[in-house]
Chains A and B, each alone.
Chain A
Amino acid sequence: MERVMAAMSSKEPDMNPVFAVLGVYGGKLLDIPLATLYQDSEAWVAGQKAVVDTFGIDIVLGFFDHSRVAEAFGGTVVFFENQAPNMKKPGFEDVEHFLDTPLPDSRASGRLGLSLECLKKCREHFGDTVPVAAVVPGLTAIPVLIFGMELWMETILFESEKAAQVLEKLKPFWKDWLAAIFENGAHFTITTEGMAEKSITTRDLYLNELHPFTEFAYECSPGPLIFHHTGGCINHIMDLIARLPNLGAVAIGSKDSIEEARQLLGPGTTLIGNMDNLAFPNSQIGLMKERTNKLCATAHANKPFILCTSGADLHVESSVDVIQCYIKTGKSYGRN
């Protein structure tokens, strides 16, 4: 806990904090079927304990399952044997219908209550030894889970007033959800901002149609938020991110330049990233050590920095040895 908080407040930690996205991997370590892992809070907490015991990571996931949002808004979800659950079909095929429908309860609808339960149990178990993070879709990305990407993109592009109505309508849901998340023990919350990615929207489109709602989303948070790249690049809007209130840190993509991110973000705010998560399966220990050292060399010149895997969960075929090598190399870099 102190290691991460030191890094996030520009103090020198005892060792370099390192994180890897290992939600699914907890199920793998304990041989828990993923349908159970994502529907049973005890199983989830057990998975996170196993991840901490095996790898000694410095942040645990209170919950990370965006399909729960889709489900809360009436979507259907599919469970898999080797990856996190996914939305199968969105709840709404028509924006007007959504605008006429009451919002779900962010604390109880579908499996949203389960998320809070997982978070609370993680916090009870880990206390203040390891910080507990909740992972949620950013406010402007939630409609992807309500309508699917195609309809949401079409609405933003061709019916921008309606897109604004959707986001306006979601504000109370978001505000209450964040309040519940921090009440249930999150040290911070990671918001995955898929609509901000460079490959998804132009800077102008993001700035004019979406960023004002992200500003609201951050402003109303009772705790620190981490702006997450969701797998793409976000340096092109780093100047906008830098000015967000309650910004705890920024997680950059594996193809974002750390130096450029630091320059645009300015000093003080922690950068998190940006080890390519796709590099783990089939990797060898020697190669992973080399990659991690190379990344750390750049990261350490641009502190404060927390080493982390980019994108979503590490693939279950990633070997324990390779993940351990990444963690060990990252923690000890520059301290021998």
Chain B
Amino acid sequence: MADRIPASKTSADSKKLYGLMVSSQRNSSLQFARAVIEEYQDNNLVLSKVLNPALIRVGRAWGKRELTLSQSFVCAKIAEDILTECTASTEQGSNEDMVAVIGNIEDDYHSLGRKIVANYLKASGWTIHDLGNDVPAEDFVDSAQETGASVIGVSAMMQTTALNISKVRELLDERKLSSSIKLAVGGAVFAWKPELADTVGADGTAEHAGLANDLFIQLNAAAKETTR
């Protein structure tokens, strides 16, 4: 069925969706997505060729500081809407090889960025186990082991709380899991001061939620490579 949708059509639809997303037209975005879903009759194609490229463009624009948190928030909500629409009638959309645990580190209660990241990652096919706010290091590592996650994504807004992420690193090293489970960090303080990622022993950081998928894919590949 998907063969009848040419690449030029999916590309044009993705560009149109991007335009609706960044101009914060949530209802119009969903209406448009529904029409595309109906036309394509292939939800994976909608996610991979329309939503995902639109999210990548959002990420690039955010990276150039052309978008604000409020615009990105709307984009994440739209991604969530479309993902829900696409997965409502099918189990497609997530990948067993792409499993991650995310949460805000112990003492951190700033959840918005984490939720935006979760939406972006889910829309990109990740299975996300979101542990919420104020998560102790042990819970991150325990959960990653239980769920078979290859990436732990830890968020912190303030420098004070960001330093608590070192405990996750120490625990991964202690349990000799550093090859198979990679540590990603993010949040306002890392965007402001990226070198802090090294201080807390992270394997990588993304400046904003729009780049989280790229980072998680890299770390997932590195984890799989070393455990092969």
Chain A residues packing against B (C-beta within 8 Å): 78, 80, 82-83, 86-89, 148-150, 153-154, 156-158, 198-202, 205, 231, 278, 281, 312, 315-316
Contact = CB atoms under 8 A, between A and B. Distances in A.
Nearest to B77: A154
B70 A156 contact: yes
A19 B192 CA distance: 22
Nearest first, the 8 A-B pairs at minimum CB distance are: A83-B160, A149-B112, A200-B69, A201-B70, A150-B112, A278-B193, A202-B68, A153-B73
A205 B72 CA distance: 13
Contacts of B193: 278
Contacts of B158: 83, 312
A86 B111 CA distance: 13
B48 interface: no
A315 B74 contact: no
A168 B112 CA distance: 25
28 contacts: A78-B134, A83-B158, A83-B161, A86-B107, A87-B109, A89-B109, A148-B111, A150-B73, A150-B111, A150-B115, A153-B70, A153-B73, A153-B112, A156-B70, A157-B24, A157-B73, A158-B26, A198-B65, A199-B65, A200-B68, A200-B70, A202-B71, A205-B68, A231-B188, A278-B159, A278-B189, A315-B159, A315-B160
Contacts of B159: 278, 281, 315
Contact of B68 (A82, A88, A150, A201): A201
Interface in B96-125: 107, 109-112, 115
Q: Would you call the interface of chain B mostly helix, strand, loop, or mixed?
A: helix
Contacts of B68: 198-202, 205
Contacts of A156: 70
Interface residues of B, number: 26
A222 to B, nearest CB: 32
Contacts of A149: 110-112
A181 B71 CA distance: 35
Contacts of B109: 78, 86-89
A231 B134 CA distance: 22
Contact of A80 (B107, B112, B115): B107
A281 B193 CA distance: 12
A150 B116 CA distance: 10
A62 to B, nearest CB: 23
Nearest to B158: A83
A86 B24 CA distance: 31
Interface in B128-173: 133-134, 158-161
Contacts of A153: 69-70, 73, 112
A87 B112 CA distance: 14
A82 B158 CA distance: 12
Contacts of A87: 109
Contacts of B160: 80, 82-83, 315-316
A281 B160 CA distance: 10
Contacts of A201: 68-70
B107 A78 contact: yes
